[in-house]
Amino acid sequence: MSSAADEHRRIAAGFTDRVRGAAPGTWDDPAPCADWVARDVVRHLVEWFPAFLKAGAGIDLPQGPPVDDDPVGAWTVHSDGVQALLDDPATEGRILSNPHLGELPLGQAIDMVYTSDVFMHTWDLARATGQDERLDPDKCAQLLEGMLPMDAALRTSGHYGPRVEVPQDADVQTRLLAFIGRTP
């Protein structure tokens, strides 16, 4: 099993490829998330996670340029800041406290809550900007297996749309996307 730092490095690289590969004219194209455009996928990741870290662990991430001005720059500064945090040996001893998660080692909390979010939103950004939508099938299977038992809680959280019906024999990426409310 890879470390939280290694997993973030791998998953963030896939998202970074889609951020850098987005043609300038696609940032305002519709995204699969209701009422979002491509730049909103980046905005979501660079805005919610710093507040989560600040509240749960007292950590301030570096801030890049506004997403509206420079989505590539905003993502790069943010992603590099998260990676530096995970690569810091002192992070191993830090704890994140959250009313919904309890107390978790910081790396574990980042991996569970944030890195998986980056992974799933990679598809959203790829779809919005007309890029390669393929996701790692092993990671899809891991996330789907972990999320299935929490179906009711995930639906009531407001963070996932209604489950989309797909054929029983659909590939694991299609099943994961349908589970989180996307129409693959």
- pLDDT band with cut points at 50, 70 and 90 for residue 2: low
Amino acid letter, residue 96: L
CA atoms within 13 A of residue 152's CA, in its CB half-sphere:
0
Q: What is the pLDDT of residues 89-121, one digit of tens each?
A: 988 889 999 998 899 999 999 999 999 999 999
In angstroms, the Cα distances linking 164 to 83, 91, 103, 161 are 33, 38, 33, 9
The predicted structure's pLDDT at residue 62: 97
pTM score of the predicted model: 0.93
> Within 10 A of 39 (CB to CB), how many other CB atoms are there?
24
Q: Long-range CB contacts (< 8 A, 24+ apart) of 110-114? A: 110/4, 110/8, 110/82, 110/85, 110/86, 111/4, 111/7, 111/8, 113/52, 114/8, 114/49, 114/52, 114/82
DSSP annotation string for 90-124: GGGG-EEEETTTEEEEHHHHIIIIIIHHHHHHHHH
Q: Is 93 exposed, middle or buried (0-12, 13-18, 19+ CB in 10 A)?
A: exposed
The predicted structure's pLDDT at residue 101: 86
Q: Hey, what CATH class is 4-134 in?
A: mainly alpha
Q: Cα(161)–Cα(120) distance, rounded to whole angstroms? A: 13
Quick one: what percent of the chain has pLDDT higher than 70?
99
Structural domain spans, the chain: 4-134, 137-184
Amino acid letter, residue 120: M
- Closest CA relative to residue 20, chosen from 63, 59, 70: 70
Q: What is the pLDDT of residues 9-39, one digit of tens each?
A: 999 999 999 999 999 999 999 999 989 999 9
